[in-house]
Amino acid sequence: MKPVKRFRVVGSFKAGTEWERFTKLVECENEKNAIEKVLSTIGSNHKLNRNLIKIREVEEV
């Protein structure tokens, strides 16, 4: 079993005509999985395609 790390993912997504900022804390094995989890969660919750979600920063906390 791989160790689980915490990541802070910062970015924005298109909400109507505006870009809404977000910061998410996720627990994943690596940075790539953290990005994937955030894209999946925001896309699902806001009914957005991934091209409408921009990731600016990923940092381990």
Query: Given pLDDT bands bounded at 50, 70 and 90, which one contains residue 2?
Result: confident
The domain tally of the chain equals: 1
Residue ranges making up the domain that contains 17? 5-60
CB 39 within 8 A of CB 53: yes
Residue 44: CATH number of its domain = 3.10.20.10
| Helix, strand, coil abundance in the chain, percent, nearest 5 | 30, 50, 20
- Output the pTM of the full model: 0.90
Six-digit token pair at 44? 């699902």
pLDDT at 49 over 80: yes
How far is residue 14 from each of residues 22, 29, 49, measured CA to CA in Å?
A: 11, 28, 10
Residue 25 has a CB neighbour count (10 Å cut-off) of: 11
